[in-house]
Structure 1
Amino acid sequence: MEVTSDHSFALAQAPLPVTDAKEKATLAAVALGLLALLGAAFDDDGERARLSMYVALGLISGGTLAWAWYKFGQGEAGVKQNNLWLRASTSRGAIAWVTGLVLTGFYVLLYWFPQYLENLIRTLDPFSQALRNRAADQWFLYGTFYTLAVLLMGGRALWKYRHSRYQLIRTLSVMFFQLGFAFLLPGLLLFFQQPEFYFSYFWPLKYDYLFPGGVADLVKNGGLGVFMVFWGAIMSLVATPILTYFYGKRWYCSWVCGCGGLAETAGDPYRHLSDKSRAAWRWEVRLVYPILALIVLITVLLWVNQLYGSFLGEIGNSLNKFYGFAIGAVFSGVVGVGFYPIMGNRVWCRFGCPMAAYLGLLQKHFSRFRITTNGGQCISCGNCSNVCEMGIDVKQYAQRGEPIIRASCVGCGMCSTACPRGVLNLENAPREGRYQASQLIHADSLRILS
């Protein structure tokens, strides 16, 4: 009689756990939803395409939330690496490359070939009419998909990090600002025939809000337009330095910004892919600060042209067009999101975002924010560095008990959440002694008794 057992006495176990039937069912629902979405994209029959779109959104939403609940909501709470470096989807394997190509292809179509998305766009006409009182366009399609991604993957983050009050509130915050301030409110403004305006985006990220043409377009809409100009200027030039002084750049990059919201939710499975090398840091400095300088220069040139009779000719407008194509479209969209599965979820924030550069300078040189470390408790597990999406080797600071004061840090707090020893702490303490390391007990200070 043959005896079988579910237990193995082998020293080497299979590196990846077997996906059980329930998890496969939730993933199958997502896959069917993507197939239905593909059908809607190529179906010339409007009614049938719209039905396919609704079915697709239902299956994708239900499947994603069910998978997140089953995957992260059933076991013990806590940050688990879950074989991220062994899975093809999260370790730059074949699935990651396919995902990156699909995302990149979508952005290319969205920016330069929207006619190929026409069937998908038309399926959202009833929704767009109800919200904005006008037909859908490619940007409404994008906004719908973008917001849905933040909400669904935000649900995943709520289950995954349910043990951390900080992460729960932060995730709810980015979900709220994306849904309310970056999607519903601009749509309602259009419904009431007011200018479309995103109250959660500021110059220099939303650079045209302080351009002469953008200001003129808003002002001609009367009192509300004037308030919008005032809001943008105050938030960019007054509120941002004040809030960053007290809370660091995290108040915006990890709590409000839609780019950061997508990175923290949909991009969370890829945060460990950020390059921690010194070479990557050098490229970060070489790119992000010149981009900030470029948008400042363009803004100044456009205003000089406006105030002094366009004596600079088309220089400002030409730079504006170049910036809009190279940075506003290619970098922030195609590369910034399309390369999530290959370079990590904060590619745009780390290497290209002028708002992140602006906030980073304020944070490093004028802010009270820092991450303090208790080096005496560090066990060098590396969890903190692994989850840092901004390419900071947090472990090196923790081992030496040095505070982390980096311009790139977005204050997501994931390093502190992942630390099993409570070594890292996010603080808004007074600036005095900001760079002072924690007290360590060195080996030379110990007397070993025999």
Structure 2
Amino acid sequence: MNSKINHSMSLAKPDAHALSIKQRIAIALGITGLFILALALFNTNFPNKSLFLWLSLGLIFLGTILFANDAYLTKLEGIKNDAVWFKSISSRGTLGWITGIVLTGFYIVLYFYPQYLGLTSDGSSNTGIISLFDPLSYLLSGNPASQWFVYGTLYTVAILAFGYKFMLKYRHNRYQQLRTASVMFFQLGFAFLIPEFMARLNESPNYNLPYYDLKSIWPLNYYLFDSWSINGFLSSGTLGLTLLIFGVVSIFVISPFLTYKYGKRWYCSWVCGCGGLAETAGDPFRHLSSKKLSAWKIERWLIHTVLVFSVIMTTAVVYSFLGKDPNSYWLTQNVFLIGVGVLLSVIFAVVMLFKRDELGKDAKYGAIAYF
């Protein structure tokens, strides 16, 4: 308890949300790891990039683990959302605003100005924070790092580190632990390591595999049917054809079946990297989301609007890839458009005939309007 006068009559400690000494040390370790990344961002020339990269990521991991151990293992099992409304970072305080601004700025630079992160386009060596990740990228794929490799690495570190924290927080709930272990596995294996190993295969003249996150199903993987992606798969022999077929089967068989059986949670909560980050690093902030019914309705309209847009754009992309001569290949542009029209009509008819009573009024109007 601090020295300030506290008039609370509670039998519990008034300053229960204060950080312990171990937690402060853990935060200091994590900040030190982030500080190394910040130094790299400002083009610090480290004498041994591999050492400082592993030191940075290791300190972030270690700090998160030590913080989680002290926060949860010293208490009885059960959900612990202690003081989330009293911490600046999780209650829209100063730290929360600073974090939001920094992350927003990072994404703007990542997408539109990667040269400020150290990416070079003239064939010369990377600089800045991207060069710090070059050793790891060469180890996995044999290629220099890009801004996306840096982002993917940090993304994976966040899910793994905060996934450990989440599993301690919900160690009384086997379902939550299995679900968290699942998203950690899919992020590390399917989203991070396997695509990098696939890139190493491209060192052989027999392969020209595109970057492919196996767990990312259309429309998240919106580039699956781009011409460069399809050509890459088709020019990579049996493996490439298998991956392309897997992508198509994921869209039309695996995803619909599992969604029908378990709802969207099978993907969003067990597989998807977006949901993985939200459920791990984003767990302390879930109370900030709007709980209004109007917010849920807006979300539904936005999701389905984006889905309709994705269908239209993907149809256009595949249409532009196909030819018109049936003698060259049976799947011509006209055949494809007819097939898409028939498929969408069948889906619409089945839903309206057998599931219309389960649809809300706005869902029915939306389905009819979009169709």
C-alpha spacing 1:293/1:9, structure 2 compared with 1 (3 Å): closer
The residue that corresponds to 1:142 in the other structure is 151
CA offset digits 1:218-269 (Å, max 9, x no partner): 2122211111110000011111111112222111111111111111111111
Equivalent residue for 2:231, pick from 212, 216, 239: 216
User: Is the 8 Å Cα contact of residues 219 and 310 (structure 2) preserved in structure 1?
Assistant: yes
Matches within 5 A, 1:277-292: 277-292=292-307
C-alpha spacing 1:94/1:16, structure 2 compared with 1 (3 Å): farther
Residue identity matched to 2:198? L
User: Is the 8 Å Cα contact of residues 26 and 64 (structure 1) preserved in structure 2?
Assistant: yes
Equivalent residue for 1:154, pick from 157, 163, 167: 163
The residue that corresponds to 1:326 in the other structure is none
User: Is the 8 Å Cα contact of residues 159 and 277 (structure 2) preserved in structure 1?
Assistant: yes
User: Is the 8 Å Cα contact of residues 161 and 168 (structure 1) preserved in structure 2?
Assistant: yes
The residue that corresponds to 2:174 in the other structure is 165
C-alpha spacing 1:215/1:29, structure 2 compared with 1 (3 Å): same
The residue that corresponds to 1:415 in the other structure is none
Residue identity matched to 1:182? A
Q: Distance in 2 between matches of 1:49 and 1:125?
A: 8
Matches within 5 A, 1:4-15: 10-11=8-9, 14=14
The residue that corresponds to 1:22 in the other structure is 22
1:306 deviates by 3.1
Q: Distance in 2 between matches of 1:59 and 1:274?
A: 30
User: Is the 8 Å Cα contact of residues 227 and 321 (structure 2) preserved in structure 1?
Assistant: yes
The residue that corresponds to 1:227 in the other structure is 242
1:298 aligned to 2:313? yes
Partner-residue secondary structure (3-state), 1:89: helix
The residue that corresponds to 1:258 in the other structure is 273
Q: Distance in 2 between matches of 1:111 and 1:46?
A: 26
The residue that corresponds to 2:62 in the other structure is 62
C-alpha spacing 1:44/1:300, structure 2 compared with 1 (3 Å): same
1:101 deviates by 0.9
1:108 aligned to 2:117? no
Q: Distance in 2 between matches of 1:213 and 1:52?
A: 36
CA offset digits 1:302-352 (Å, max 9, x no partner): 22333356xxxxxxxxxxxxxxxxxxxxxxxxxxxxxxxxxxxxxxxxxxx
Partner-residue secondary structure (3-state), 1:47: coil
Partner-residue secondary structure (3-state), 1:298: helix
Q: What is the alpha-carbon root mean square deviation over aligned residues?
A: 2.7
Q: Distance in 1 between matches of 2:320 and 2:225?
A: 14
* Segment drifting more, 172-181 vs 90-99: 90-99
The residue that corresponds to 2:285 in the other structure is 270
Q: Distance in 1 between matches of 2:8 and 2:283?
A: 34
Residue identity matched to 1:152? A
C-alpha spacing 1:105/1:49, structure 2 compared with 1 (3 Å): farther
TM-score, with structure 2 as normaliser:
0.78
Residue identity matched to 2:9? L
User: Is the 8 Å Cα contact of residues 43 and 49 (structure 1) preserved in structure 2?
Assistant: no
Q: Distance in 2 between matches of 1:10 and 1:56?
A: 42
Q: Distance in 2 between matches of 1:46 and 1:19?
A: 33
The answer for unaligned runs of 5 or more in structure 2 is 119-127, 325-346, 356-362, 364-371
Partner-residue secondary structure (3-state), 1:152: helix
1:113 deviates by 1.1
CA offset digits 1:133-152 (Å, max 9, x no partner): 11111111111111110100
C-alpha spacing 1:278/1:10, structure 2 compared with 1 (3 Å): closer
For CA contacts below 8 A with separation 6 or more, give which structure has more relative contact order: 1
User: Is the 8 Å Cα contact of residues 218 and 228 (structure 1) preserved in structure 2?
Assistant: yes
Q: Distance in 2 between matches of 1:271 and 1:135?
A: 36
User: Is the 8 Å Cα contact of residues 156 and 188 (structure 2) preserved in structure 1?
Assistant: yes
Partner-residue secondary structure (3-state), 2:18: coil
Percentage identity across paired residues of the two chains: 41
Partner-residue secondary structure (3-state), 2:299: helix
User: Is the 8 Å Cα contact of residues 134 and 144 (structure 2) preserved in structure 1?
Assistant: yes
Q: Distance in 1 between matches of 2:9 and 2:261?
A: 52
Partner-residue secondary structure (3-state), 1:290: helix
* Segment drifting more, 237-246 vs 211-220: 211-220
Q: Distance in 2 between matches of 1:142 and 1:17?
A: 32
C-alpha spacing 1:10/1:216, structure 2 compared with 1 (3 Å): closer
Residue identity matched to 1:78? G
* Segment drifting more, 195-204 vs 14-23: 14-23
